[in-house]
Structure 1
Amino acid sequence: MDSGCSRHMTGDLSQLVNVKEFNGGYVSFAGGESGRITLKGTVQNGILSFENVNYVPELKHNLLSISQICDRGNSVHFTKKGCHVLKPGIVIPDDWFLMTAERKGNAYVIDMNKKPCEEITCLFSKISEHDGLLWHRRLGRVNMKNLNRLAKGQLVRDLPIKDFMLVEKCVACAKGKAHRKPHKAKPAPSTKAVLELLHMDLFGPVNVLSIGKKAYCLVIVDDYSR
């Protein structure tokens, strides 16, 4: 898959079907060399077919032109794991774009000297806010200070190295830190017998150990007899 290739090309004649003679001129290679286009045909894999594939005997690689694929209504998405050809009609939201390379002829050219617009800077900040809340939840409601420490130290796999921001309020953290209202005292117990309802509380470790050198204590109170 080549975004700099203006036409589909192959140097392997066995890849082509419906071959026709075609005088397509010459193709320039790296290093000043060139090859002559003598035939053209179709490449098929059972699912997709690519027409008008030029045959260049001197070509050592099979090249699919991204611009030619896009001309058929498809779109192409590159990731670190591979290249995906998307079905026609799939529209990517504009706020997902960080940078755009304009098509000139059948190649895609990007001007690195062009300054990014203010919208791109705003988009970066929105990404940080979203990622901050996402990783805050993933890592057990960790605070932003420790989250940035993990990111800068590269201590978590796939954690982006950036300054995280948490603008949105975490509802779970707010509820967990809220003070509970005191329970009103009951004039009479609601239970009718011993062991019907038990209240248990485990606390520790304590500074002063028990006689048996224990640091934790389980308190059990019977609701009826207290």
Structure 2
Amino acid sequence: MNKLKNEVSVTIADGKILKGTHKGIIRADYKGKSIKIEVMVVDGLYRNLLSVRSLTKKGFLVSFMENKVKIEKDNFEIFANQLNGAYILNLQIRMSDDMVYTSSVHEDRNLWHKRLGHLNIKGLKLLGLPFSEEKCSICIEGKGTRSRFDKHIKNSKKSWRIHSL
């Protein structure tokens, strides 16, 4: 991987702008064939993403079907199947010594909990999504209750009671 002279701005689906810091070529295996993929390291991404725009700029044909996507160029094609609204491409990445640092990606175990409006653990398990046993500070605040009012207030002085009708 080579450090970029100038960082590249990458806009993701929620509108956030992240910075690409490194670029390079990795080798991967797909169904027994070796392929080279140009990649960029983007700080803050928790998953590997493939840019359809970048693929089409490089001459690839990208075809979306009901439950899969086909990427093809020069008698070579790759299929990615749809799973939970995303297309999953099963590649075996060949690691080299200069890629070791890219393998340590910070994974937010509460990412889906947050994305789904702070869905409870039972719901995340039902959907088969990753979750953390740690307590979410936002959920803790949301479940907070007010202190109880005493029903009988003791007053040392005699006072009048006011009744309204």
- TM bucket normalised to smaller: 0.3 to 0.5
Q: TM-score, normalised by structure 1?
A: 0.27
Q: TM-score, normalised by structure 2?
A: 0.36
**Which protein is richer in strand relative to its size?**
2
